[in-house]
Amino acid sequence: MREISYLGAINEGIGEEMERDPKVYVIGEDVTTSAFGITRGLVQRFGQARIIDTPISETAIAGAAVGAAMTGYRPVADFMFADFMFIAADEILLKAAKWRFIHGGVQRLPLVFMAAMGGYAMIGPEHSQSPEGIFMHTPGLKLAVPATPYDAKGLIKAAIRDDNPVVFLYHKGMLGFKGPVPEEDYVVPLGRAEVKREGSDVTVVAVGMMVHFALGLAEELKDRISVEVVDPRSLEPLDIETIVASVRKTGRVVVADEDTSRCGPAAEIAMQIMEQAFDDLDAPIKRIAAANYPIPAGLMERFVLPQPADLKAAIEALAG
């Protein structure tokens, strides 16, 4: 199987869906040249009628996408940075998320809100957040957070084909990561977690960049601690069954995510584990996440964002 980059996998997935369905198009800031490269080259293939550059107006991008989705199109709205999605909160959280319910399921809203999340690039508090918790908390939205090229391509294709609004957050720090991706058509279903590495001593439920931290540590610690790594892949729907099955096997769990520790996905996943598998736990759940503090610019960000050393310490403490 060939290896391609995380960035290339998303680009390829969008291109394939645009070829498959003429109702699919991309709208957003700088999508013809593409700041992160996600949509690079697509305007040459599909033209400016389907790769639509907009002014810097996130509300207009989201609003245009919602309106088009209601008429049968399948827009991919690209916000560049996930932090910028807050500007379009009314359209995303109150319109797209609610209208299918309001109309009794008759009105479809097949659209994707796509943006780059994450830190470790030292670019400050308004360009480094991982705001999964906001979208995970909002009924009516699905949320995909891929960690590998295979999952990135499969999830973007699944998101575009879904008849509900899907938030697709890719990590800017993983754009160059390479991995095996089939050439044939496939999707990764939303709501299906994957055990990335089998283990028996400690479960690490890891999201996004944390998957790579966890896999690296699992390899480093393999002679002393057997670490199982579970990647939810999508946070809504959340495959809590796969997570709980792993916890019942190991009896110990760390939940690692880059959103804030307070009210973030790590807190929610930990609580669901407590509700469903409390009697199977041999030790208290630990969570590794960003501090409840704005992300500083430059080297100071390491004091706020979760680090591999933090995750390693949590694994070792649980394993005794």
- Please give the positions annotated as active site: 127
Question: CA 1 → CA 146, 157, 204, distances in Å?
Answer: 19, 19, 28
Q: For residues 225 and 217, give the distance between their C-alpha atoms in angstroms, rounded to a whole number.
A: 10
Under DSSP, the state recorded for 304 is T
Going by C-alpha positions, the residue among 243, 253, 255, 271 that lies closest to residue 202 is 253
Distance CA 138, CA 92 (A): 10
125 preceded by a cis bond (ω within 30 of 0): no
Contact 98, 92 (CB under 8 A): no
Q: Three-state DSSP class for 51? A: strand
The two counts, helices (H) then strands (E), for the chain are 11, 14
d(CA 138, CA 263): 13
